Structure 1
Amino acid sequence: MIALIAGLVVFLGVHLIPTRPDLRGRLQGALGAWGYKGLFSMVAAVGLVLIVWGKAQAPYLEVWAPPYWTRHIPLALMPVALILLVAAYVPNNLRRVVKHPMLAAIKLWALVHFVANGDLASMLLFGAFLAYAVVDVISAKRRGAAPQRAPVHPLLDVLTVVIGLIAYMGLMHAHAHLFGVAVIT
C-alpha cells in the first residue's frame, strides 16, 4: 500500500505543479522549457509505475461492499469518459461545451470506479484522482485556462465519438488482462 500512496503523491503532486503558475514559471526558468518537460515526464512516469505496482501489490481490504448494481455504472458511463478523453486531443465542438474534457474524463472515470469498488486500495486510487481533477478544474477556472475555441467541422465530432467508442470496446476486452478485473465475461 505504501508504493501506491507514494505513487499517488508523486504522480498527482507533479501534475499539480501547473496549478501554481508561479512555481511552474520558476521551474521552467531554472530548467528551461525542455528541461522542465523532461523532468516533469520522468517524475510522472516514476509515479505512474509506483501506482500500477502498488495497486497490484496492495492487499484487498474491504471498506464496504458495493451493491451489485454499482458494477453496471462504469459500463454505462465509461464510454462518455473515453469520448471526453479523446475530445481533449481531437479538435471538436464538444470542447466548446466542456471546457476541460481531460479533467472531466478523469473525474468521471474516478467517480464511477470509486462507486463500484469497495476496497481500500481502489478507494485511495480513485478518490485521489477524483480529488486531483476537482482541484485542477477549480484552479483552471481561477487562472482562466480554458481558451475559447472556434467551431470545427461536425465530422470531427463524429470522429471523436467513434474513436472514444472504439477505445471503450478495446478497454472492455483488455481490462482483465491489464487490470485483473474482467468487465465482460
Structure 2
Amino acid sequence: MALMVLGLLLFLGVHSTRVFADDWRSAMVQRLGLLQWKGLYSLLSILGFVLIVIGFKQARQESLVLWTSPGWMRHVTALLMILAMVLFVAAYIPGNWFKARFHHPQALSVKTWAVAHLLAVGVLADVVLFGAFLAWAVVVFIAARRRDRANHTVYAPANPIGTTAALATGLAAWSIFALLLHGPLIGVRPLGY
C-alpha cells in the first residue's frame, strides 16, 4: 500500500501545482522554460503513475474488503463510465456542450470515474486509490472554476458537431476500454464477460 500512496502523492502532487503552488509553478516555468517544465512534469507524472500501478497491484493482493456491492452495481458503474469517458474526451474536442456548460469536463470525468468505482468496489486498496482521485478532482474543479471567475474566462459556445463528436468519441473509447482492454490490463471484466 505504501508504494501506491507514494505514487498517488507524486502523481496528484504534480497535478496540483497550479492549485497549491501556482506562483512557484510560474517561477519554475520562467526559470526552466516551458518545454523543460513540461518534460519534468511529464517525467514525474509517469513515475507517479508507474508507482500507482505497481503499488495498486501489490496492495490488492493483501487488501481488506470493507464492503461488497450488489451485482447490479456493475451496470450502474458501466453507465457512469460512459459519462466519464464522454467528459474526458470533451476536454479535447472544441465546441461541445460539455465543455461549454461545465468548463472543466476532465475534472468532472475523474470525479465520475472515481465515484463509479467506489460504488462497485469496497476493497481497501480501491477505496484509497479512487478516494484520493475523487478528493483531488473535487479540489481541482473548484480551483479551476474560481480561476475562471477571477480571470473572467469565457468558453466557446457549443455546436452540434462538437457535441456529437464528443459523444461518439467518448462512447467509442468506453467500448474499447470496457469491452477489450479493462480485463487484460486491470484484471477485472467490468461487464462480467
Which ranges of structure 1 fall in alignment gaps of 5 or more residues?
none
**More moved, 51-60 vs 83-92:** 51-60
Number of matched pairs: 185
| Pairing 1:8-87 to 2, within 5 Å after superposition | 8-19=8-19, 20-58=21-59, 59-87=62-90
User: Which residue in 1 is equivalent to 2:92?
Assistant: 89
Query: 2:187 is matched with which residue: 155, 174, 180?
Result: 180
| Contact 2:96–2:161 under 8 Å retained in 1 | no
Query: What is the DSSP-based 3-state SS (H/G/I as helix, E as strand, rest coil) of the residue aligned with 1:68?
Result: coil
* Contact 1:100/1:146 (8 A) holds in 2: no
1:2 and 1:146, CA in 2 relative to 1: closer, same or farther beyond 3 A? farther
Find the counterpart in structure 2 of residue 142 from structure 1.
Answer: 146
Deviation, 1:141, is 2.1
Secondary structure of residue in 1 paired with 2:65:
coil
Rounded to whole Å, the distance in 2 between the matches of 1:98 and 1:142 is 13
Name the CA distance, whole Å, in 2 between partners of 1:91 and 1:146: 19
Q: Distance in 2 between matches of 1:11 and 1:117?
A: 22
Counterpart-to-counterpart distance in 1, 2:95 and 2:185: 30
Residue 34 of structure 1: CA displacement?
1.4
TM-score, normalized by length of structure 2? 0.90
Residue deviations 1:94-118 (CA, integer Å, cap 9, x gap): 2111111000000000111012111
Residue 157 of structure 2 corresponds to which residue in structure 1? 151
Identity over aligned pairs, percent: 40
Describe the SS at the equivalent of 1:63: strand
Contact (CA 8 Å) 1:99, 1:146: kept in 2 or not?
A: no
Q: Which amino acid aligns with 2:117?
A: H
- Structure 2's unaligned 5+ residue stretches are none
- Of 102, 109, 114, 1:105 maps to 109
